[in-house]
Amino acid sequence: MTDAAIRCVTAKASVFFWAAQGIEKIVIADATGGTLLDGNEVSLLKQINVDVEQISYYQDEQQLRLKGKGYGEGELLSFALENSITLETEDSFFKCTGKVYCRNFESIINMINHNKLQSIFWRHLGEGGSLQQWADIRFYYTTKKFCQESLIPAYQKADDIKAAAEYFVFHLLNEKLIAGKAPRPLLSGFEGGTGKQYFDSSLGVLDENCPCWVST
C-alpha cells in the first residue's frame, strides 16, 4: 500500500471500528515514527470511554528488507510490550494487524471467557479452506509472558527468503500449546503491502471448527 492517504484512512477506520465494538483500551504501535490519530480524534474516542495510547519508533529498514515484514512485526510487538503504559498493567491482550478488524469479535471474546483461555491462535487457511504450515498471525489473543518468552523469538526467526514468520509461529504453537478447533475470527481489512482489500467469507463447517491452538 503505497499511497500515504489510503494507508492513513484504512488504519484509522480499523481503530474506529474497534472503538465502536466497545473496546475500552487500544494501543496503537507504529514502526514509522508517526502518530495515527490527532488530538481531536483521541478526545472523540475518550467521549465514548475509549482510552487510546499511541507509541512509535523508527524501524530498521535494512533489517526489514533483509528479513521481511514478519520480522518487523515481531520487533514492533517487542517494542510495544517494552514501552506501552497500558500493556504494563495487563496480563493478556488481543493483537490485531493494522487496517484489520474482526467482524464477529463479540462471539470470539465470549468463547475465550467461557473457556477461560489464556491464549488462542488460529491456523492460516488458504484458498478454499486449504491448510498449510502457517499460523494466522493477523489476529490472536495471548499473554504477555508467552509473547515475550516464546512468540517474539519465533517472529525473529523469520526470513522471507527461507520461511515467513507464520511458519515459525506455526511450529512454536505445535510445540507449546494444545491443538483444537474453535470458531474462527472473520476478519476484514486491507493488506499492508499491496493495499488489497479482503473479506473473510464463510468456509462452511470451518467457521465453527477451525484448527487452532489454545492454552488455559
Q: What is the pLDDT of residue 196?
A: 76
Q: Find the domain containing 60 and state its range.
A: 4-215
Q: Are strands 131-143 and 197-199 parallel, antiparallel or unpaired?
A: unpaired
Instruction: Answer yes or no: are the C-beta atoms of 102 and 186 closer than 8 Å.
Output: yes
Q: Judge contact between 172 and 147, C-beta under 8 A.
A: no
Average pLDDT value for residue range 159-177:
93
Strand order in the sheet with 100-102: 100-102, 187-190, 197-199
Q: Which among 141, 128, 138 has a CA at the least distance from the CA of 182?
A: 141
At residue 68, the pLDDT reads 84
Look at residues 91, 186, 99, 175 and name the one whose alpha carbon lies nearest to residue 141: 91
For residues 36 and 65, which has the higher predicted lDDT (pLDDT)?
36
pLDDT of residue 127: 59
Q: Would the pLDDT of 129 be above 60?
A: no
How confident is the model at residue 5, as a pLDDT?
83
Residue 201's pLDDT is 79
What's the total number of domains in the chain? 1
Average pLDDT, the chain: 91
67 or 49, higher pLDDT: 49
pLDDT over 70 for what percent of the chain?
94
Contact 133, 167 (CB under 8 A): yes
